[in-house]
Amino acid sequence: MLNFDEERYLEIESGAVALAEALDHAIEDLLSGGKGKIIFAGAGGAGMLMQPAAQLLMRRSSVPVFWDRPAEMMATEPVYFDQNAIVIIPSLSGTTKESIELVDASHRIGATTIALTGHADSPVAEAADLNFTNFAEDDTSSESFYLQSLLIALSVLRHESGDSEEYDTALDELRKMPELLLAAKQSFENQAEEWAEAIKDEEYHIISAAGPLWAEAWYYGTCILEEMQWIRTRPIQAADFFHGTLELLEPEVSLILLKGSGSSRALSNRVEDFSKTISTKVRVLDTDEVDLPGISDRVREMVSPAIASALLERVSAHLEVKRDHPLTTRRYYRRVEY
């Protein structure tokens, strides 16, 4: 595979899954100790990656769960941010200004912070009440964060139900995911180059998805195509597509659609069916087409964002070469004061 270290990838994603026991103990101790709500709050892309886990709990758990942005929490002081909260703060670098401020604010009000970081010697890692470090870099961090946040969500569900069987079964399957994600990348490599060739000269993309995959569509459009490639995008949740964005479709407008398992697939199908009657540039990434032996439909739906992320990383690797635009190039981000 182009510019890719397979051994490094397996080590990082296996490291994420290996945090399961420690994360489970932390969540059990905190919920048993009286903490009564969970806030997922990451800045930028890291925060986006927390959405599927937060959404899973919002729909399956009676534990109050919130998803928010650190900067907005600091500005608005939401009433649910109090001493009863467990605040999950992902920060790959551990140096994100907004995340550091949130840790400090959590300490002031008595909330408990759990940091998910890529570097143990970073300000966020050192200041958080509990820190879990799994080294990663931009090309491997999405799957790592998806898996870690999913482990937290499954732990909450296990604690709430008092039944470990469902948790144990899911964890057994998740332990297989690093190897399966690598195999998915390998199988997708040729198609990834074709995608990169097809989209490299497009100036604008609509990118859409529903359910757990929406986070990846939002992340890929914003943090990869916009931030790392300076390509204009319009991320739109599939449920909202027909409330405005459909009017932007024309025969030459590019639409990237991510599709996955579960009931939300119908929303993406609706976008696909309509868009193909107008645009000749509809490209669909369907995680259901990825071979995942030993993975149940239930777990496949939960890991669908990680699957899409693994495949789209391959597109990015080819895209930066074909456009002669390294993914590390920035004009403003962490380059100037803002």
The model's pLDDT over 245-254, given as tens digits with 9 standing for 90+, comes to 999 999 999 9
Average pLDDT over residues 254-274: 97
CATH placement of domain 177-322? 3.40.50.10490
pLDDT score for 163: 87
CATH topology for 6-174? Rossmann fold (3.40.50)
> At what angle are helices 6-17 and 177-199 packed, to 10 degrees?
130
pLDDT above 70 covers a percentage of the chain that reads 100
- Would the pTM count as exceeding 0.85? yes
Instruction: Give the whole-angstrom CA distance, residue 190 versus residue 2.
Output: 10
Three-state SS for 238?
Answer: helix
CA 206 to chain centre: 19
The arithmetic mean of pLDDT across residues 172-191, rounded, is 98
Tell me if residue 256 falls in helix, strand or coil.
Answer: strand
8 Å CB contact between 69 and 54 = no
**How many other CB atoms sit within 10 Å of the CB of residue 35?**
18
* pLDDT, tens digit, 9 for 90 and up, residues 282-314: 999 999 999 999 999 999 999 999 999 999 999
Contact criterion met (CB below 8 Å) for 305 and 215? yes
Predicted confidence at residue 232, as pLDDT, reads 97
Question: By the 8 A CB rule, do 115 and 132 touch?
Answer: yes
Could you give the angle at the alpha carbon of 209 between the alpha carbons of 203 and 210, nearest 5°?
Answer: 160
pLDDT of residue 271: 98
- What mean pLDDT comes out for the span 254-269? 96
Which residues, 6+ apart, have CB-to-CB distance to 290 below 8 Å? 184, 187, 188, 307, 311
Confidence of residue 321 (pLDDT cuts 50, 70, 90): very high
Domain with CATH 3.40.50.10490 in the chain: 6-174, 177-322
Distance CA 38, CA 252 (A): 44
Amino acid 117: pLDDT = 98
| Beta pairing partners, 73 | none
Give the model confidence (pLDDT) of 110-152 as tens digits. Answer: 999 999 999 999 999 999 999 999 999 999 999 999 999 999 9
What residue has token string 């912070």? 113
Q: For 184-209, what is each residue's pLDDT tens digit?
A: 999 999 999 999 999 999 999 999 99
Q: Give the per-residue pLDDT at 263.
A: 92
* pLDDT value of residue 114: 98
Q: How far apart are CA 27 and CA 128, in angstroms?
A: 15
